[in-house]
Chains A and B, each alone.
Chain A
Amino acid sequence: MTSVPVRPDGRVVTPYDPDESEGAWSVIRRGIKASPPLRRGLGLTAAMGVSVALGQLAVPVLIQQALDSGGLTEANEVDIDAVTRLVAIVVGIVVLAAFANWRTQRRLVSRAEETLYHLRTTAFAKVHRLSVADHNDTSKGVLLARVSSDVEALAQFVNWGFFIWVTNPVLVLGMFCVLAYYSVPLALVVALTLAPAVPLMRWVQRRQLAANDLHRTAVGAMLGSFSEAVTGAAVIRAYGAQDRQANFLRRSIDTRYRTKIRANRYMALVFVISDLFASLAFALVLIIGVRYRDALGLGAGELVASLFLVTLIAGPISTLSEVLDQTQSAVSAWRKILHLIDAAVDVADPEPGLVAPPGPVRIEVENLVFSYRVGGRVLDGVSVSIPPGTNVAVVGETGSGKTTFAKMLCRLADPDTGSIRLNGIELSELSAASRLATVRMVPQDGFLFDASVGENIRFGRPAASDAELDAAIDLLELRWWIDRLPFGLASPAGERGGNLSVGERQLVALIRAALADPGLLILDEATSAVDPETDAALTAAIRRLSEGRTLISIAHRLATAESADTVMVFDRGHLAQIGSHAELVVQPGIYARLHRAWTGATRT
């Protein structure tokens, strides 16, 4: 039994819809907690900030010292020895800081990459743990984004923004410390002058972020129309819809352009704000420093160094503000990834779990209820007991729940209520390995991996020997088909199995299942796309294959139902009828109606 995971605030957690209202700090805290490699680098991070700041602060201090103690203000007061000593010290500091900078960056890079690797692989593993219900409700693109573009957004941040966050605040703080050392009032003047720049920059930035959101939506729409132009290429050409698609494309490309330009407008402004305010601070320091030099107890070198610092201070501040944008998209990406990682798994495998004995499977289903998150109940109170070794056909209209029933028998999702027992063992208590060895489903959609046909078959049982593989092919009498492939078993299946026809992909899936040798075999219209002749030949082969196991076939044609021991008729999520073909065909009801239609359709 599963309950939908719920947050403490009562919101339902789904793996595809993160809570956007969660604050940045909360995300960062959770993120650090979820990423052990990140925690180990924090001390180093501080060391790096200090070392970089030291290297940069050495310069203005050198100038001040050279002017004040080196006597550079007057030609006749110059003390070459003192200046040489100062320069030597500064060179030493700069070289040491550079060395520290190098070492800490190195360490940080490997920490950060380890974190990203950890995050990416954890998220990937999580996707495969989500139940089939989650996969149904979530677009593949969204899941893909979590392990690719979202992690890339974080990676970009780690490669640039993160360093800025580490070094620049320390640098700005250091500059203020040096300023305050020369003169506290001057430091205050600078701080007060620069202070209004911060809310101003934030204001511009908020507009930039809003503009960026619009831009991202526009990018999605544009990729959508490109994707249609490519995947729908045949339809577009067959129906002369080129102009229509061209219009969509032109519009979406232009919208993307205009939203980007708008976002750029704000970006161009952010950078100069701090520069302008720093110039104002420069002017104020100059006026106040010159007029009140005695009251402030300033030396000439100190004032020059202060002015120098003020010209430098705008740089790190505006860089920080630039990085903020990147930081925000990184945080939002991080939030999404963490959300996926934290989403509860509906179908958790028991550890260690029970092991079912080999051989045909007895199935007992009691009061099975299941609903997807969207779209209401799919199965509503299904109960059935199937003796081991039975050949069962499942029939019903599209949407009657027959495929969902099959999926639940191999635990692609857990029921809302009710139970499924195989050989007396609750399905959810079987270990993953035992479940796989016991139950095998051949889905209708024969998805293949971009590997050879032989490798794709072997995915059914990687440990199988060549002889076993050959035996499976021969059992299904499909040798002729393998021989017809350009390179036999070594023929590449292509992207998603694209080198093979839909029917051929189903053949691979079928051999795969034969190789796995399960006690319960479930065929979901597994031969719906092969030609009638092959299909008929396969029917005989499948009958042989089903010896010594329980077979459940979702029927796409009459013969399957006619030759089954038991027929289950599904209607709107209920098990409407059950019995042998001979019994059901004379009973008034769905099956009789269906049978009449079928025979009418296939035998005029």
Chain B
Amino acid sequence: MLGLGVRLVYRMYRMHPVAASIAVVGSLITALGIVGSTIVIGRVTDSVVLPAFDDGSTVTSSDVLWGVAAVIAIAVVRSAGTVMRRYYAGMTTQQVERSLRERLSRYYLGLPMEFHQRSMAGRLIAHADNDTMMATHVLDPVPFTLGVVFLMVFAAISLVAVDLLVASVALLIFPAMYVINRIYTSQVERPTAAVQASVGRVSAIAHESFDGALVVKTLGRAHDEEVRFGSASARLRSFRVQVGNIRAVFEAVLDAMPSLGIAAVVLIGAHRIRAGAMTPGELVQVTSLFTLLSFPMRVFGYFLEMVPLSVVSHRRLQTVWSESLPEIPTAAEPRISGGDGPARLQVADLTYTYPTVARLDDADEASLGVTVAPGPTDVNDNRPTLTEVSFEVAEGEIVAIVGGTGAGKSTLCSLIAGLIEPSSGTVEIDGVSVAGLDPTHRTGQVALVFQESFLFADSIAENIALGEPDHRRLRHAIEIAAAAGFVDELPDGVYSVVGERGVTLSGGQRQRIALARALYRRPRLIVLDDATSAVDPIIEQQILAALRSELDVTAVIVAQRLSTIELADRVVYLDGGTVAEVGIHSELLSHPGYRALVEAYQEAAV
């Protein structure tokens, strides 16, 4: 583990060598300053204090002033070293954190949609937050730890210069403290990792529980939730107490060791002074060195403690980097040259199987030998969602996709928009495969509006334009999406900020903003994945009518309402991931499954 930690530190220091080097130099200066100050104390004792008490006449005020000057000079040097070390050590850590986060953001944005489908959102955000912080935690004590190594060397030299016998006490005590520190860190390693994992578990439970607060209330499960949260908190408490108890032992021992060393030094010193081999000042020098060294020794232990946490956290980050970022297709890649008019869509033999969702970070905890809470087992359902789907949509045509729950409608939409790549088969726009397109070029051609609308925590204008808005286009998009009414009533109109703490919009209003976002881009193919499900039927009709009359666009619409289906030129009827029927609505009614599906409401209402 220590080896891994050293390698990690080396790699991170190589990322930002300048700040790291300054911090190390600072710690070198601090170390020199500390040893220097003990030497000054010893000298001052021998040449100023003790002579003054001896006969009083041999000490001149210039001797005193020299002593004072030396003390202050050393203090200034040491302080300068400390400031350098602390500031630049912090800077190194922060620079590394910034680089790691920038790298994560490149991956989050650059990796294909499929990566997000199989990763848990909470985990990805934790990578950018806590994991990055923990991964660099090990860097904080590094300059100081290196300083301690310098300190040990200088201290050993200064001790040997004073007296070999006294130095041998140090040579026993310092390694002993190091060994005790190692034992301590190896003892707390597991409980500390368990604490980390329990903290995650506790907040995961709270997260879930608060998210479902309404359901918890309506089911009267508050008490059960308290029990569940309570037992996770109790585990966390017991791991923390375990760590605390181990620490209590070692803190007490490590606190006492320098004092015991000093006691030994005084005893040996008494013999050596009597033998004339040592001066009282040198004794004072050695004892103050022992005292000042006790804190740095602890920092060394802190470093050892941080190593496993940082290594594990860094490993978590590496799971992201082990993904391969797709190369961005260059301008030489195929482009669609269909001009501004509506696009032609061809879907051929399309098959898609969802990737398996990775569960929890059990692997990480297992590597430390800790099991916290068993997560539910993997669902390895490898049945394809879509099987050999083929159909065509002509320029300017409106095609409705109709199918029962779980028929694969949303998956088909994502494939058409090029968000995910087919397991086999092709989606072509004007004869060009969507999969190989430059994403920027692709998004100019196809716009997909989702079932669940996502709004950025930004103004409505920004949410629609996703950049500097062209006001006429913005207005036009808002009007076609039938959003003008409520947007104009907002206090700041299109500049009203939506999002968690902003204006609360209803589901139907959010959907209309999301629709306007698609319309704003004037795509040649628009894909609506049940995108108006929360909009009143009357307004939905307005929207679709406007879509047809005002825009020159090919449309694929996942539809549930009969009125919407009837508006389409043709219908693709999906059943269990395959195309059961394609044709005009009135023709398809002869298919019993289709009829049952689309006329269900009418039957029920009669």
Check if B598 is an interface residue, CB within 8 A of chain A. Answer: yes
| Other A-B pairs beyond A124-B209, A235-B454, A279-B74, 15, CB < 8 Å | A55-B255, A76-B274, A86-B266, A102-B252, A112-B244, A226-B128, A230-B108, A242-B110, A254-B98, A267-B90, A283-B72, A290-B48, A436-B220, A504-B406, A601-B561
Check if B156 is an interface residue, CB within 8 A of chain A. Answer: no
Check if A367 is an interface residue, CB within 8 A of chain B. Answer: no
15 interchain pairs, CB-CB under 8 A = A125-B226, A140-B207, A144-B210, A233-B116, A235-B450, A244-B466, A245-B109, A268-B83, A282-B75, A291-B64, A460-B219, A495-B208, A528-B533, A557-B601, A601-B538
Q: Is the interface of A mostly helix, strand, loop or mixed?
A: helix
- Residue of B64, B448, B504 touching A290 (CB-CB under 8 A): B64
Q: Which stretch from B145-153, B179-187, B375-383 is at the chain A interface?
A: B375-383
Check if A587 is an interface residue, CB within 8 A of chain B. Answer: no
Q: Which residues of B contact A67 (CB under 8 A)?
A: 280
Check if B94 sits within 8 Å of A443, measured CB to CB: no
Check if A272 sits within 8 Å of B82, measured CB to CB: yes
Interface size on A, residues (CB 8 A): 182
Quick one: given A90-B263, A272-B83, are A113 and B537 in contact (CB under 8 Å)?
no
Check if A416 is an interface residue, CB within 8 A of chain B. Answer: no
| Nearest neighbor of B87 in chain A, beta-carbon distance | A268
Check if A242 sits within 8 Å of B439, measured CB to CB: yes
Check if A382 is an interface residue, CB within 8 A of chain B. Answer: no
Map CB proximity to B onto A502-525 as digits: 1 under 8 Å, 0 otherwise. 111000010010000000000000
Check if B368 is an interface residue, CB within 8 A of chain A. Answer: no
Check if A261 sits within 8 Å of B202, measured CB to CB: no
Check if B108 sits within 8 Å of A229, measured CB to CB: yes
- Inter-chain CA distance A300–B284, complex, in Å, is 12
Q: Which residues of B contact A290 (CB under 8 A)?
A: 48-49, 52, 59, 64
Check if A468 is an interface residue, CB within 8 A of chain B. Answer: no
Q: Which stretch from A173-181, A185-193, A418-426, A447-455 is at the chain B interface?
A: A447-455
Min CB distance B215 to A, Å, is: 5
- Inter-chain CA distance A72–B605, complex, in Å, is 108
Map CB proximity to B onto A234-254 as digits: 1 under 8 Å, 0 otherwise. 111111111011100110011
- Inter-chain CA distance A509–B219, complex, in Å, is 10
Check if A238 sits within 8 Å of B233, measured CB to CB: no
Check if A239 sits within 8 Å of B447, measured CB to CB: yes
- Residue of B233, B240, B251, B259 touching A58 (CB-CB under 8 A): B259
Check if B214 is an interface residue, CB within 8 A of chain A. Answer: yes
Check if A28 is an interface residue, CB within 8 A of chain B. Answer: no
Min CB distance B2 to A, Å, is: 23
Check if A299 is an interface residue, CB within 8 A of chain B. Answer: yes
Q: Which stretch from B117-125, B168-176, B338-346 is at the chain A interface?
A: B117-125
Check if A165 is an interface residue, CB within 8 A of chain B. Answer: no
Check if B97 is an interface residue, CB within 8 A of chain A. Answer: yes
Quick one: given A312-B291, A604-B563, are A70 and B270 in contact (CB under 8 Å)?
yes
| Nearest neighbor of A539 in chain B, beta-carbon distance | B604
Check if A308 sits within 8 Å of B284, measured CB to CB: yes
Quick one: given A231-B121, A280-B72, A459-B219, are A240 and B444 in contact (CB under 8 Å)?
yes
- Inter-chain CA distance A20–B538, complex, in Å, is 49
- Inter-chain CA distance A43–B503, complex, in Å, is 52
- Residue of A109, A272, A447, A501 touching B79 (CB-CB under 8 A): A272
Quick one: given A98-B255, A148-B203, are A91 and B209 in contact (CB under 8 Å)?
no
Map CB proximity to A onto B535-568 as digits: 1 under 8 Å, 0 otherwise. 0111011000000000000000000111100100
- Inter-chain CA distance A534–B596, complex, in Å, is 10
The 9 closest A-B pairs by CB, nearest first: A109-B244, A279-B75, A240-B443, A601-B537, A536-B600, A105-B248, A264-B90, A272-B79, A148-B203
Q: Which stretch from A2-10, A330-338, A486-494 is at the chain B interface?
A: A486-494
| Nearest neighbor of B203 in chain A, beta-carbon distance | A148
Check if B426 is an interface residue, CB within 8 A of chain A. Answer: no
- Inter-chain CA distance A267–B83, complex, in Å, is 9
Q: Which residues of B contact A229 (CB under 8 A)?
A: 105, 108-109
Check if A486 sits within 8 Å of B379, measured CB to CB: yes
Q: Which stretch from A114-122, A194-202, A354-362, A570-578 is at the chain B interface?
A: A114-122
Check if A580 is an interface residue, CB within 8 A of chain B. Answer: no
Check if A289 is an interface residue, CB within 8 A of chain B. Answer: yes
Map CB proximity to B onto A276-301 as digits: 1 under 8 Å, 0 otherwise. 10111011001101110100000110
Check if A536 sits within 8 Å of B79, measured CB to CB: no
Q: Which residues of B contact A112 (CB under 8 A)?
A: 244
Quick one: given A398-B508, A602-B563, are A533 and B600 in contact (CB under 8 Å)?
yes
Check if B295 is an interface residue, CB within 8 A of chain A. Answer: yes
- Residue of B86, B237, B467 touching A244 (CB-CB under 8 A): B467
- Inter-chain CA distance A499–B225, complex, in Å, is 22
- Residue of B48, B208, B267 touching A87 (CB-CB under 8 A): B267
Give residues 364-379 of A contacting B (CB, 8 Å).
Answer: 375
Min CB distance B133 to A, Å, is: 10
Check if A465 is an interface residue, CB within 8 A of chain B. Answer: no
Quick one: given A128-B222, A412-B217, A447-B214, are A223 and B98 in contact (CB under 8 Å)?
no
Give residues 573-606 of B contacting A (CB, 8 Å).
Answer: 596-598, 600-605
Min CB distance B571 to A, Å, is: 14
Map CB proximity to A onto B424-448 as digits: 1 under 8 Å, 0 otherwise. 0000000000000001101110111
Check if A56 is an interface residue, CB within 8 A of chain B. Answer: yes
Give residues 367-421 of B contacting A (CB, 8 Å).
Answer: 376-377, 379, 381, 403-406, 414, 417, 419
Check if B120 sits within 8 Å of A257, measured CB to CB: no
Check if B211 is an interface residue, CB within 8 A of chain A. Answer: yes
Q: Which residues of A contact B419 (CB under 8 A)?
A: 234, 237-238
- Inter-chain CA distance A583–B229, complex, in Å, is 52
Quick one: given A106-B244, A303-B49, are A231 and B376 in contact (CB under 8 Å)?
no
Check if B273 is an interface residue, CB within 8 A of chain A. Answer: yes
Min CB distance B105 to A, Å, is: 4
